[in-house]
Amino acid sequence: MTTPGAFTVGSVLTAGDMNELGAWTTYTPTIAGVTTSLVAGRYYTFQDIGFLYVSFVISAAPTAAVTFSPPSGFTPAAPNEFQTISANGVFYDTSAGNKYIASCRYPGPNFRPVWLEAVGSSYRWSDVTNTSYPVLPASGDSFTVTWIGWIS
């Protein structure tokens, strides 16, 4: 099979066809704005769709807005939110035992982790920073996200 997904009517998928679809590649994202103790990342591309998984544990409170780098050669199609298909994750506050709905956005050139914050009777996505509410990220807290979107 020369191009993944180039099937014709009556084609039968073989193990070799499936192996050509590829595998996840590990990488270590560069985390800025906070000191971390554990960092893990992996990604996968399928034609012009990219899949990205990043997880890190914070070892001190953030000193600035937190960002993480994409892997080399993994570039979202445009630095805006409209290229994202899905971005789901969890921010875990270990001191309180609370989990917050998390995500990430790509304003370029790096991703920015965000969490869902209640503001009055509505909600908004807020960057993870050194002044974040409802909780200030601290040692032992963790962030995990999976991003799927168009890449160029």
Per-residue model confidence as pLDDT tens digits over 13-42:
777 777 767 789 999 999 999 999 999 999
Check residue 110 and give its pLDDT.
93
Give the type of residue at 90: V
Q: Quick one: how many helices (H) and strands (E) in the chain?
A: 1, 10
Q: Which two tokens stand for residue 79?
A: 């630095």
Res 135: pLDDT:
74
Q: What is the pLDDT of residue 55?
A: 97
* Closest to 55 in 3D by CA, of 111, 98, 96, 109: 111
- In CATH, the number for domain 25-150 is 2.60.90
Looking at residue 88, the DSSP 8-state letter turns out to be E
Q: What is the mean pLDDT of the chain?
A: 85
Q: Confidence class of residue 2 from pLDDT cuts 50, 70 and 90?
A: very low
Cα–Cα distance measured from residue 102 to residue 116, given in angstroms and rounded to the nearest whole number: 6
